[in-house]
Amino acid sequence: SQQGEEDPQALSIQEGENATMNCSYKTSINNLQWYRQNSGRGLVHLILIRSNEREKHSGRLRVTLDTSKKSSSLLITASRAADTASYFCATASNTGNQFYFGTGTSLTVIP
């Protein structure tokens, strides 16, 4: 299976703290994308990082990519209760038309 893994599986933090979650994948990639999913809802696209990029920022999000280790991390700074959700990383197949998702990190931000 090319499915990746997120670590940790679950994370609980206080509002205002930073949250870091990691993703490992198995094959070479063109890009890696992070998504957020609120309970039982669809996936919201957060950020895309290309294989030739090492770090990318978007608002309170910071994503890093280490292709030599086949891993990525998502940092959410100054967390808010509204950040409570599951977070998934996804990599695309070589043709770009199939995505492989990790197992997800469930983040709980306590007000």
Partner 1 sequence: KAGVTQTPRYLIKTRGQQVTLSCSPISGHRSVSWYQQTPGQGLQFLFEYFSETQRNKGNFPGRFSGRQFSNSRSEMNVSTLELGDSALYLCASSRSVGGTTEAFFGQGTRLTVV
**10-14 and 105-110 as β-strands: parallel, antiparallel, unpaired?**
parallel
3-state secondary structure of 82: helix
Place of tokens 């030739």: 52
Q: Kindly state whether residue 43 participates in binding partner 1, applying the rule CB under 8 A.
A: yes
Q: Which residue of 90, 105, 107, 109 would you call a contact of partner 1, by CB under 8 A?
A: 90
Q: Kindly state whether residue 104 participates in binding partner 1, applying the rule CB under 8 A.
A: yes
Closer residue to partner 1 (CB): 14 or 95: 95
Residues 57 to 76 in contact with partner 1, rule: CB under 8 A: none
Place of tokens 């959700």: 85
